[in-house]
Chains A and B, each alone.
Chain A
Amino acid sequence: MLKQAFLERAWPRQAWIGIAIAVVAALALLPLLPGAIDSYTFSFLFFVFIYAIMAQGWNLVAGFGGQISLGNHAFFGLGAYTTAILWSGNYLWGSLYDAYPRLYYFDPVTMVLGGLVAALAAVIIGLPLLSKLRGDYFALGTLGFGEIVKVMFINGGDFTGGAFGVVAPAGTFDTLLPHYVVGLGLMVGTALAIHLLMRSRYGLALIAVRDDEMAASANGINVLRVKVSAFAGSAFIAGIAGSLYTYYIFHVGPDSVFDLDWMLLPLMMTVAGGTGTLLGPILGAFVMYAVFDLARIVVPDYHPVISGLTIILAMLFLPKGLMRSFGGRVRVV
């Protein structure tokens, strides 16, 4: 009974599900429009997908889990580097890849490995951090962790390519269609996975830990395990996003994939969309990236200034996020 009431309150109304399905269908059918694949919209949407995936990952640990991670860019970079190193060194597919290099777009094994490496790093750093630190101190710790990982990759020698980074074999793609499809699929898949996760016992435990750690612990929830797994799940999602980005960018360097923007922008998109809501991160990614990109096109010289202003204005006037300001009866706390 209680659980039922909780779920009703926690999740958006049926209408949102309908809208979501319609939007996803429209996005999936978009490539069928003539000329769409070569248009600018396509690459725009691809980036929205990446940011939405990152935002969803941050929302898992911070929005649902209540642990503010400021290190998700490190997990993004770890996934990106894992992919670039496996790909450029051709560690996985040997002769198969040599025979058909043009067929190599996305291989799920490499992408999952990218996510796993990030998740492993999250467990290694998360166990000590989350058992010792709470709240702001955890946020500070993850920020420091991100910087350490970046320096390690700069000093990684031949393996990581130092300050220059790793270049993947060029010439394997001449259309953005696969990137678009995989990006869209991952965005939808991540949202569905988190939806299912949050409806499970684990999801309830995660929210219980966020709302009252002591009470959760008193009810037999292993608080540390719940926190670390949410952190690792968040890192896994970020790692997959980093892997996807590598297939697009080819050149992975410490300054590009460990850039703080990969943490700050998804964070901002989540808060703007609505933390702790399922569709908030996606909506936030669409809206905020649209604003930034529009500014980049309309006022190229001032666009970072506009980005800064947008963040401030969004936080001043929409502190609850789009989903909770306009989304009707959704999760309140």
Chain B
Amino acid sequence: MVNLPPPEILLQLSLNGALGGAMYGVAAVGLSLIFGTMRLIFLAQGAMIILAAYFARALFYGLGIDPFLSLLIVVPVGLVVGWLVYQGLFRRAAAAEDRNISLLIAVGLMFLVQNLMTVIWGGNTAAIVTSYTASGIEILGVRTSFTRSMGFLIALAGTGLVVLFLRQTIVGKAVRAASEDMEAATLMGISPHRVNAIAFAIGIALAGAAGVAVATTFPFNPFAGFIFSLKALVALALGGIGNVAGALAGGIILGLIEAYVQYFISGGWTNAIAYGVFLAVLMFKPEGLFSRPYKKA
């Protein structure tokens, strides 16, 4: 029988887990958009997050731009980069029957970005240390760092904006339609390439936002991204593929699972249990934890 720890520790665990998991969530929202329209497992998402982290770091140490302020640069750059990445790399492959091709281009992009970062910035661990990195906030007797809370806010804001975009704009509607049935959407006059490019632009922009959150919270290195890709995939599956808000929730759930496993079992098993939950969800509830029965994904 496990001894339950005092409530403030449970609360602390939950808070840390949720705040950390929100970062997987925001990465998963981007993956969800790309997967939804292109049916592509975009394994390079994590590498793009770390690239954004290095970019934010360069802006901070090179030009003295505060990392959170640099969101104003990183996110628009991410939109442009995402658009270009689609047009340059995936446009032709997206039309191909064989979806291995897109998957492998993503893998090639991951190799390329990881190793370019190693060439440019070296393979060592990097971090952003600002005057407020060490400062914390206390809510209801539970402490958390300022940067983690900011990361959480970024995730909420990013997901919120994407949800608004998908619900309120005509372009967003097109993206949603394409996610549900690309063929039917095409028949309705939606251009698959434009929808794919938009999904990519937003996906990479979200990777940029996640990158800023990562850069201010954790030390990172060029190869730290892949684990983010995997965790984002898990979050995506938990939330239900094609469900954007669910992806954020999935990330938070994953963060909670990790925090609890770390405390109650051991740090070494965190990943195995997280992936075990992932497999179980894929098998028993492939439409995600939040789908309503009448709405098949």
Question: Which residues from chain A sit less than 8 Å from chain B, CB to CB?
Answer: 62, 68, 128-129, 132-133, 136-137, 139-141, 143-145, 147-148, 151-152, 154-155, 260, 264, 267-268, 271, 275, 301-302, 304-305, 307-312, 315-316, 319
Contacts and interface: CB of A to CB of B under 8 A. Distances in A.
A308 B286 contact: no
Contact of A312 (B105, B118, B268): B105
B190 interface: no
B272 interface: yes
Contacts of B276: 148
A262 to B, nearest CB: 13
A145 B271 CA distance: 11
Contacts, number: 123
B93 A311 contact: no
A137 B107 CA distance: 18
B93 A304 contact: no
A308 B101 contact: no
Given A264-B107, A308-B109, A301 B286 contact: no
B112 A319 contact: no
Contacts of B108: 268, 308-312, 315
Contacts of A315: 93, 101, 104-105, 108
Contact of B275 (A147, A267, A319): A147
Nearest to A62: B100
A307 B111 contact: yes
A152 B286 contact: no
A316 B279 contact: no
Contact of B105 (A133, A136, A147, A316): A316
B269 interface: yes
Contacts of B112: 305, 308-309, 312
A305 B115 contact: yes
A151 B41 contact: no
Given A140-B41, A143-B230, A311-B107, A133 B268 contact: no
A144 B282 CA distance: 10
Contacts of A275: 98, 100
B293 to A, nearest CB: 18
B92 A144 contact: no
Which 10 A-B residue pairs are closest in the complex by CB-CB distance? A311-B108, A308-B112, A308-B111, A151-B272, A304-B115, A312-B108, A144-B275, A305-B115, A132-B283, A148-B275
A147 B266 CA distance: 17
Nearest to A152: B272
B283 to A, nearest CB: 5
Question: Which of A140, A145, A271, A310 has the most chain B CB within a 10 Å cutoff?
Answer: A140
Contacts of B268: 151, 154-155
B279 A144 contact: yes
A316 B104 contact: no
A148 B272 contact: yes
Nearest to B272: A151
A32 B207 CA distance: 55
A140 B116 contact: no
A309 B111 CA distance: 8
Contact of B110 (A137, A154, A271, A308): A308
A141 B279 contact: yes
B94 to A, nearest CB: 11
27 contacts: A68-B103, A128-B283, A132-B283, A133-B282, A136-B39, A144-B230, A145-B275, A145-B279, A148-B272, A155-B268, A155-B269, A155-B272, A260-B226, A267-B104, A268-B104, A268-B107, A271-B98, A275-B98, A301-B119, A305-B111, A308-B110, A311-B111, A315-B93, A315-B101, A315-B105, A315-B108, A316-B89
B96 interface: yes
B109 A137 contact: no
Interface in B68-101: 89, 92-93, 96, 98-101
A271 B109 contact: no
Contacts of A154: 268
Contacts of A133: 282-283, 286
Contact of A144 (B96, B115, B226, B278): B278
Nearest to B102: A315
B244 interface: no
Given A141-B283, A302-B115, 8 more contacts: A128-B283, A129-B283, A141-B282, A147-B271, A154-B268, A267-B104, A308-B112, A319-B96
B16 interface: no
B159 interface: no
Interface string B192-203: 000000000000
B272 A311 contact: no
B272 A304 contact: no
Contacts of B234: 144
B166 to A, nearest CB: 21
Contacts of B98: 271, 275, 319
